[in-house]
Structure 1
Amino acid sequence: MSKISKSRDAQIVFQSFYCALALIACVGSVGFFNMQFEGDFYIFFTNISNYLCAGIMLVELVQTLKKNGDGYVTFMPGLRVISMLGIILTFLVFNILLAGDAGRDPALNYKVECILCHVVLPIMYTADWVMFYEHGKMNWKMPLLSSLFPLAYVGYVFAHAALRNFDSSIMNHTGTNPLIYPYFFLNPERVGIQGVITWVLVLLVFFIVLGFIFMLIDHVLGRKKKTVLQEQACGEAL
């Protein structure tokens, strides 16, 4: 596993495949496959998190192509964790809360870009972090700092709503929610102001807990790496 983690060739293949799928997903997110421009693409957390991850993975790929030999991926590990937690949140919230929403057409869940953005790319992005980054260095501050990402998104949604005078008469392209409130749990007209606050707090706590879970995973992976290195050193000494 250690050899694969540092393998430049393995990283290039995996990162290239991810970037190719991410390109398909990003193109689909603006309505290309429907031959109809979906002008509300910019408001969905799904799209924002996937665009961020696609950009980071592209930089990773460029960095990997430029390096001369094997080694761990080193591009901005802090930002990498924040973006990973964001896309995992996309995966979990969609599959647990949104995919089966009564107002959603089930056929939308089987569109190529939907499957990529909500299932395939989150899993691949997490696998890339597990396989190709050095572990054991994540500290307790990272889960707390990561919470700024979803909080900034909530602020963005309501700033956007204010710019549109809180007009909820225009629906998003899926027809499930008003354009200004892309998700039911952010819609005060549907769950009330107190309901929005409750949902935001619950999801925020969940996000922070998720961050600490991945901090634990990071340290477990780091200890396993040290154990393998120690065993290899003992074997060479014998």
Structure 2
Amino acid sequence: MGPLILRSAIVAALATGLLLGERLLPYFTSQSSIIALAYVVTTLVVTIQRRTSTPPAPRLRGAVTFWLLTTALISHILNNRGESPLPGLVVADPALAIDNWGLFLLHYVAPGLVLLDWALFGPHGIVRWRDTLLWLLYPIGYGVVMIARGALLPEINVRYPYPFLDPTLNGVDGMLLALLRVVVMLAVISLAVVALDRLSGFVSRRLTAPSIDPAAPPSTASAPSEVTDH
């Protein structure tokens, strides 16, 4: 599968997931998916125009990969408690099934395809470990804004998008402890994204390096012929 086909599949998964069901902007899933969709569409346009497979802004690409993986893992581990999403795709209620299909595309299919693109296609080795600090600013800032929004606007729709942001459930101390666990999880995910980039670059270099036959004798340069001055 080439990068053009894979990135087109990412666009299709993100766009379809956003259109199926009700996607409210306060949710991190909606925001990160819109950002990812904009980036991948831009990547397709730029790479087609330049006739190259190298995507623009590789550090932003790393951030987008991290944010979508954050969406996937938090949804699966914290929201769904590790349960399989597949039964929700075949529920009797058609409207609920459509909504579940949309979430499945955003929480599983699109992040998986983006991760595959990150691993298979370069450039590798450009993102740095300290870039993860910048990547973390968005999800951490999102959490702070959502908590402040819910506290200042108690009557607003979707007051706290996620349970771990809601201080009314387990108190402020419980919320802070839950947030700490989430931040640690995010830090691990971001480091794993960079580590995968390093590993992919290493494997790519090994596969493209010229092979050397250890049994072949070392090449010796012929000595220059002696010139005799007559």
* TM-score normalised by structure 1 residue count: 0.76
Q: Say if 2:25 is the partner of 1:42.
A: yes
Show the counterpart of 1:96: 77
- The answer to whether 1:223 aligns with 2:208 is no
Deviation at 1:205, TM superposition (A): 1.4
1:211-233 Cα offsets, whole Å, 9 max, x none, are 2222222112112222223226x
Paired residues in the alignment total: 204
Helix, strand or coil: the match of 1:140?
coil
For structure 2, the 5+ residue unaligned runs are: 83-87, 214-218, 220-230
Distance in 1, Cα, partners of 2:175 & 2:59? 29
> Aligned partners of 1:230 and 1:100: how far apart in 2?
44
Point out 4+ residue stretches in structure 1 off by more than 6 angstroms. none
Amino acid at match of 1:191: N
Alignment of 1:17-166 (within 5 A): 17-29=9-21, 31=22, 41-68=24-51, 70-71=52-53, 73-100=54-81, 111-164=100-153, 166=154
Distance 2:59 2:188 in 1: 17
Q: Which has the larger radius of gyration?
A: 2
Kindly provide the CA deviation profile for residues 117-148 of structure 1, in whole angstroms up to 9, marking residues without a partner as x. Answer: 11111101111111222212332202222111
TM-score (norm 2): 0.79
How far 1:74 moved relative to its partner?
Answer: 3.0
Q: Would you say the 8 A contact 1:136–1:218 is kept in 2?
A: yes
Q: Cα distance, 1:48 vs. partner?
A: 0.9
Aligned sequence identity (%): 24
Residue 210 of structure 1 and its aligned partner are, at CA, apart by: 1.6
| Counterpart-to-counterpart distance in 2, 1:42 and 1:136 | 34
Greater alpha carbon shift after TM alignment, 219-228 vs 188-197? 219-228
Contact 1:53/1:125 (CA < 8 Å) preserved in 2? Answer: no
State the one-letter code of the partner of 2:110.
Answer: L
Q: Is the 8 A contact 1:82 1:149 kept in 2?
A: no
- The CA deviation string for residues 145-190 of structure 1, in whole angstroms up to 9 with x for no partner, is 21112111112212432452x23xx6x6xxxxxx111111111000
**1:47 offset after TM fit, Å?**
0.9
| RMSD of aligned alpha carbons | 2.7
Counterpart CA distance in 2 for 1:76 and 1:85 is 14
